Amino acid sequence: MAELNAMSAAVVQLNCQDDVTANLARVRHWTAEAARAGARIVTLPENFAFVGDEAGKRSLAEEISNAAAGPIVSALREAASKEGVYLVAGGMPEKSGDADRPFNTSLLIAPDGSIAGSYRKIHLFDVDLADGTSLRESRATKPGPTAPVLENAIPEVDGVPLGMTVCYDLRFPELYRMLERKGARIFTVPAAFTLTTGKDHWHVLLRARAIENQAFVLAPAQTGKHTQSSGQSRQTYGKSLIVDPWGDVLAQCGEGEGFAVARLDFAYQDRVRASLPSLSHWRL
């Protein structure tokens, strides 16, 4: 394949609840809208199919393969093939062998509907926030193995290497440097950042990962209030971003659901890497 000079990319922002059917309908809608806007790669946030209680999440865990026919994977494959786009599906529950703790898995679906890549979230969000929110992702999620990230080739989008991560991974810069060392030119960071942490850290961390690795960053996010059937609720920050290798924000979603699209200029990325060759000065 000839070297690609540029690609249009979209980040989709969602306000998902605990209704899987409704959430997947929104996924189809916004994927189609982003494709009509010219996006070649469309990215969905973490928990794009379900935001709810842990028991509900466990019940939705699916096998992930091209032979699997679960409703979530099937909907993703259908959307990608119908719109002719690469679709990065943020994080969904994947069966792990532990019925109480599925993986939180991000998928790359090719335009023909096949699964072109996957990543199981490594870093899990176990925190007590200043606003009183207590989150223990490890209670209901099994961390992915590190070996595939360290050893296997990363997937490609039209020949462009893609480094896949999920949400809390953003706070661990060594993961992104490993992906850059393996050739990644784009990072995906699908997320459901809390309002408390997002307002102070979201933009800073995303721009830092882009600058450090002179890479494009696609960060689709959940936004707004998410209320469970139990009456409990949480609020996510939103502000889905596309950041360029110099750290400039190329596009950002506003309030509510929607998408933002930007052109990823790989010739510009090459110029950034040539003019400030910090990646070639790495010593560790």
> In which region does residue 266 sit, left (phi positive, over 0), alpha (psi from -120 to 50) or beta (all else)?
alpha
Catalytic residue among 46, 83, 137, 156: 46
Catalytic residue among 167, 180, 239, 253: 167
Give the whole-angstrom CA distance, residue 69 versus residue 64: 9
Catalytic residue among 62, 83, 121, 156: 121
Q: What's the maximum distance between 2 C-alpha atoms anywhere in the chain?
A: 55
Instruction: Tell me the angle at which helices 195-213 and 173-181 cross, rounded to the nearest 10 degrees.
Output: 30
Whether residue 16 lies in the annotated active site: no
Q: How many CA atoms are closer than 13 Å to the CA of 17, on its beta-carbon side?
A: 12
Give the whole-angstrom CA distance, residue 218 versus residue 146: 22
Q: For 279, which DSSP code?
A: G
* Amino acid letter for position 87: L
Whether residue 46 lies in the annotated active site: yes
Non-local (6+) Cβ contacts of 56 within 8 A are 18, 50
Whether residue 78 lies in the annotated active site: no
From the number of C-beta atoms within 10 Å of its C-beta (0-12, 13-18, 19+), residue 97 rates as exposed
Catalytic residues, by residue number, are: 46, 121, 167
